[in-house]
Amino acid sequence: MESHGGDVLPGEEPKDPDFGFPFPPYPIQLGLMRAVYRCLDEGRVGVMESPTGTGKTLSLICGTLAWLRDYRARGCTDGAAAEARAGGEATGAAPPNPAAGAGDLPPWVYAASQKRDREAAAGDGQQGTRKRKRARRAADAAPPGAPAAGADSEHLLADPPSGAGAAAASPDTSDEDGSASSDDESPAFSGPKVVFSSRTHTQLAQFVGELKKTAFYADPGFRVAQLGSRAVLCANADARRRATSGGVLRGERLNDICANLGGDSKVTGCPLGRPDVLKSAGRRLRARPAGDVEDVVAFGKQHHACPYYLSRQAAARSTIVAVPYAGLLSKTARAALPVDLTDAIVIIDEGHNVIDAVNQTETVEISLATLEATLAALKRYLAAYANRLHVKNKIKVRQLAAVINQLKVWLEKERDPAAAAAAAAGAPAPHTHERGARNAVGGPSSAAGNGAGGLSSAAGNAIGGFSSAGGTGAGGLGSAAGNAAGGNGNGAASASALVAGGVGGRVGGAQDGPGHRSAAPQQQLPQQPQQRLVSATELTFAAGIEGVDAPGLAQFARDARLFRKLQAFAEDASAKALAAGLRKTVEGHLHAVRGPTTAKRQPEPATATAPPDTPPAAVTTAGMLSVDSFLYKVLVADEASQRILVTRDASNPTVKIASVFAADLFSDVVQNSRSVILAGGTMSPVDDLYTQLLTPSSPGAENSFLAFPGSSKPALLPAAPAAEQPQQGSLDRRRAAKISDPWRDVVFYQCGHVVPPDQILAGIVARGAGPAAPVFDFRFSNRLNPGLLQSLAAAIERVASVVPGGVVVFFPSYGYERQVFDAWDRQGTVQRLQSATGKTVYREPRGGEGDVHEVLAAYQGDCDRKGGALLSCIVGGKLSEGINFSDQYGRAVIVVGMPYPNSNDCLLGEKRALVAQRCGAAAAASMLDTTCMKAINQSIGRAIRHRGDYAALLLFDFRYSQPNIRKLLPCWIHASLQTYSGFGPLPDRLTQFFARMQAKT
């Protein structure tokens, strides 16, 4: 490895920089810091895999900040001197003492000013309370849905600007709601920023906690700020109350309320957003040690300042900014960040999720019911505000209602009469996908209707999306990619939580996968809805909206935040109507109990339902925002990588617009930043990152690959010749090369585990237990074989009997897990398994988070008190990622079968076609294997969570022994991995393994 800290004499070992690691690092931690340092020094894109328990986050922090410190020391930027002044004014004033006054004001004057502000805010709050009481009294006498008389309703559209202002009006590009940051001071730091992103605020808080362990945290040149949404940071209790509907805080409504209050731009708006208060509190916040979002919220409440805008001010003047996925991976949210990504260092944790997350930000689905609810709400809105809307706004809202009505009429035609008739008769509906005799990967293509999945619908489009009627194959996939990836689709009935590529192809044991096609009779394919792809032009002509300025109307709706106001209006009207219905019900019951009090006043009969004109409930109105996004993406944005999918249904057809190629949405991050690092505990297989996220900018180009010691090289991408690798020298020269071709150099670093190989018993089990001992073949055509299911139960029983702790069994889909347990229940297998092992069997529910946590707590309780239990989970489900099955909670992990995605999925076929076009047919052909094994590796990673942990990892399917699948398993498992052609010796190996581990610990 080249040195980056100075000159190296011939024959000398390269000298590592001072990484500032708080503890003596393990060799794998040192290797990761070296890889990060070199990646940043050469301006490359890095993919870093470091298993859980290896100190990944701390190594990323130290490697990154050590490079930034040395970069400053080389005189590349004056950011260190500027950052040292971040606690004070740009003029050089010392950071204010919290006990002192603000700026030049004496403390007693400052205190009086603060007291006056608090009293004024309290007065405004009392006055607002009185206004709201009067508005509620007026609302009781008003018709349902009408605004309160005399009240300045938050649902009313603002009047359009006139004259020159209309031409100068700009679209809403600010964060979430149109409010801009109030910090008008120039940033104190001008050097490269570090932007760290993860999925949740909790994970970002953990990142800040790891940073606090290092010496960099105390250095004023490495200030950190954490960003968050208003739902997390808003401290205005009244705004939060108004944004809560049905006990749930509506984030979009909270954004709209903040915008209506004027954010920080009006003194008469939110009392926490006054510019003078924010400026003063911002100075005080910068003088404190940085904290997470909870610290910022507490600080904002203490100083009567908005934590949301305080965090944005702090981010603009910080070296390190922690951002949730939603703020970085969405193009719209990125444009509103208070951080310029130009020449920044972007580190994305949980990098295996990035493709799905990027695609999901641009995926919107609307149903016929949503369009009907939106249209009804628009009509009520127009009726309620007919006399208050500006004439231009009224015209555009009516035109927009006409466009939505046309879309509704078009989508009504997508009702499936055959499915409706079959449902009414109680018979199964006819299949809508042609099953065909599909071939394995790499085999010759078969007759029309085969390949990557033709549709037997009227549209007849193949899943590749580029062939004409007749369903003749994968369209644009070419020779190798044009064949199906292994067989039989399980379809939507599997309903696994993992989405193939983030756009709707569900993983659920849906493919036979690699290997020869089974000669056994094939099962009937579960019912799937009829689907077809349409273009934006086809949609507009089919809906009859080609003759109107639909793009202009969609842009108007977004700029005016119409659908946000419409949703709030509908929710309020619904709540009022339901409250009125409840009052009538109570009055009816009282009347029945007490009898009529007078002859003239007779209450209406009691009813448990709302009035007939009640708008849809909040759960339906939440879809109104999706109508806004759908119209904008179809009529205005029209990205090249988006696809429109129409799904027929008996009663509620849907239309979805989805991104199928994340690279087109992520390219500006790679182009603008200095370096991007994707890090995670389980990144392999990484082929999808190269082909779908970091693909070359033009077809036929190749990524080069730089392998570090301890890393492995993906098979798809050849390394660049040594002469073309960047050599140590001018940073500016390397930077210029990266800007010209940002995808050219990709670093992949893969390190081992802190756990030694002898603490892992990893096995591929190719044959079951029991007298017949069938082959563990869980392909779709064979997976419900009664003998196979009984052999599976016997194998799980024998493993669970010798494992001293919890056993976690992963099934490929919810549907298959239910079928297995139904078969076992009919034969009493589950009861026998529990009696033989002494372990209670728990199953992952498909309900909400509360149900999952309840089952998980019960399972862990049995592991603690009773010496173990058995938990059935789903690959890609709620318990397959982010859950810690360490120590006694996961002494054995069993994976049953392989969760291949459904090759009949239209969007998956489109994605494969684009990958084939951009990266070649071989890349498209490997997508199904990569998607499947990435999900498997995540499930395996739930065990072995720290250096002293140990566990058995067992893969029940003969296909895992095939070389093209085995190589995709995590690198740290290979040293311990054995293939068991028969089940016989496995129980004895398990007994010896656990006896040795218990004696060792």
Residue range 110-157, pLDDT digits in tens? 556 555 555 555 554 455 455 445 544 544 444 444 444 444 456 777
Confidence at 460, pLDDT banded by 50, 70, 90: very low
User: Which is nearest to 893 in space by CA: 973, 952, 944?
Assistant: 952
Mean pLDDT of the 81-99 span: 40
Long-range contacts of 127-133 (CB under 8 A, 24+ apart): 128/238
Look at residue 650 in the predicted model and tell me its pLDDT. Answer: 87
CB 874 within 8 A of CB 843: no
Look at residue 594 in the predicted model and tell me its pLDDT. Answer: 52
Q: What SS3 state is found at 647? A: strand
Residue with the larger pLDDT of the pair 571 and 228: 228
Q: Which of 214-223, 440-449, 695-704 has the highest mean pLDDT?
A: 214-223
Q: Name every residue whose Cβ is closer than 8 Å to that of residue 831 and which is 6 or more positions away in sequence.
A: none
CA distance 634 to 636: 6
Angle value at C-alpha 356, between 42 and 568, nearest 5 degrees: 120
Confidence at 418, pLDDT banded by 50, 70, 90: low
Q: Name every residue whose Cβ is closer than 8 Å to that of residue 940 and which is 6 or more positions away in sequence.
A: 682, 893, 895, 953, 969, 970, 973
Provide the angle, in degrees to the nearest 10, between the axes of the packed helices 786-802 and 814-827. Answer: 90
Angle value at C-alpha 954, between 951 and 960, nearest 5 degrees: 140
Task: Return the minimum-mean-pLDDT range out of 70-74, 205-209, 664-668, 743-747.
Answer: 743-747
Residue range 628-666, pLDDT digits in tens? 889 988 888 767 888 999 999 988 999 999 999 999 889
Neighbour-count burial for 549-580, b at 16+ CB within 10 Å, e otherwise: ebbebbbbbbbbbbbbbbbbbbbbbbbbbbee
CA-only gyration radius of the chain, Å: 31
CA distance 392 to 735: 51
Tell me the backbone φ, ψ of residue 984, rounded to 5 degrees.
Answer: -45, -55
* Beta carbons within 10 angstroms of residue 115's beta carbon: 10
User: Which is nearest to 900 in space by CA: 765, 739, 778?
Assistant: 778
Q: Which of 183-187, 377-381, 878-882 has the highest mean pLDDT?
A: 377-381
Mean pLDDT of the 873-888 span: 89
Mean pLDDT of the 512-531 span: 46
Mean pLDDT of the 472-491 span: 33
| Backbone CA torsion sign across 843, 849, 855, 856 | positive
Task: Give the strand pairing for 45-49 and 870-874.
Answer: unpaired
Look at residue 838 in the predicted model and tell me its pLDDT. Answer: 93
Residue with the larger pLDDT of the pair 469 and 597: 597
Confidence at 415, pLDDT banded by 50, 70, 90: confident
Mean pLDDT of the 170-193 span: 47
Residue with the larger pLDDT of the pair 579 and 351: 351
Look at residue 355 in the predicted model and tell me its pLDDT. Answer: 93
pLDDT higher than 70, residue 679: yes
Look at residue 561 in the predicted model and tell me its pLDDT. Answer: 87
pLDDT higher than 90, residue 263: no
pLDDT higher than 80, residue 409: yes
pLDDT higher than 60, residue 512: no
Look at residue 190 in the predicted model and tell me its pLDDT. Answer: 52
Residue range 345-360, pLDDT digits in tens? 999 998 998 999 999 9
Residue with the larger pLDDT of the pair 466 and 928: 928
Which residues on adjacent β-strands are paired with residue 498? none
Q: What SS3 state is found at 386? A: coil
Angle value at C-alpha 367, between 410 and 507, nearest 5 degrees: 125
Mean pLDDT of the 748-755 span: 85
CA distance 148 to 873: 52
Q: What SS3 state is found at 654? A: strand
Confidence at 710, pLDDT banded by 50, 70, 90: very low
Mean pLDDT of the 596-620 span: 41
The rounded Cα 22 to chain-centroid distance in angstroms is 32
The rounded Cα 320 to chain-centroid distance in angstroms is 22
Mean pLDDT of the 371-400 span: 90
Which tokens hold the place of 860?
Answer: 């862990």
Q: What SS3 state is found at 921? A: helix
Residue with the larger pLDDT of the pair 249 and 503: 249
Look at residue 258 in the predicted model and tell me its pLDDT. Answer: 85
Which tokens hold the place of 518?
Answer: 């089974």
Confidence at 406, pLDDT banded by 50, 70, 90: very high
pLDDT higher than 70, residue 555: yes
User: Which is nearest to 506 in space by CA: 522, 519, 514, 494?
Assistant: 494
Task: Return the minimum-mean-pLDDT range out of 258-262, 578-582, 861-865.
Answer: 578-582
Mean pLDDT of the 804-821 span: 96
| Mean pLDDT of all residues belonging to the chain | 74
Residue 786, preceding peptide bond in cis (omega within 30° of 0): no
User: Which is nearest to 396 in space by CA: 152, 631, 637, 176?
Assistant: 631
Look at residue 161 in the predicted model and tell me its pLDDT. Answer: 63
CB 432 within 8 A of CB 905: no
Residue with the larger pLDDT of the pair 411 and 546: 411
pLDDT higher than 70, residue 620: no
Mean pLDDT of the 501-524 span: 37
Cα torsion through 926, 928, 931, 932, rounded to 10: -120
Please report, rounded to a whole number, the percentage of residues in the chain having pLDDT higher than 90. Answer: 38
Residue range 189-199, pLDDT digits in tens? 556 899 999 98
φ/ψ bin of 15: left (φ > 0), alpha (ψ from -120 to 50), beta (otherwise)? beta
Look at residue 622 in the predicted model and tell me its pLDDT. Answer: 60
User: Which is nearest to 708 in space by CA: 35, 33, 13, 14?
Assistant: 35
Q: Which of 508-522, 560-574, 692-706, 828-842 has the highest mean pLDDT?
A: 828-842
Q: Name every residue whose Cβ is closer than 8 Å to that of residue 182 and which is 6 or more positions away in sequence.
A: 263, 264, 265, 273, 275, 278, 279, 309, 313
Residue with the larger pLDDT of the pair 425 and 403: 403
Please report, rounded to a whole number, the percentage of residues in the chain having pLDDT higher than 70. Answer: 65
Whole-prediction pTM value?
0.74
Mean pLDDT of the 159-168 span: 50
CB 610 within 8 A of CB 577: yes
Sheet of 745-750: strand order equals: 224-226, 320-324, 194-198, 345-348, 675-680, 45-49, 745-750, 704-707
**H-helix or E-strand containing 320?**
strand 320-324
CA distance 752 to 746: 20
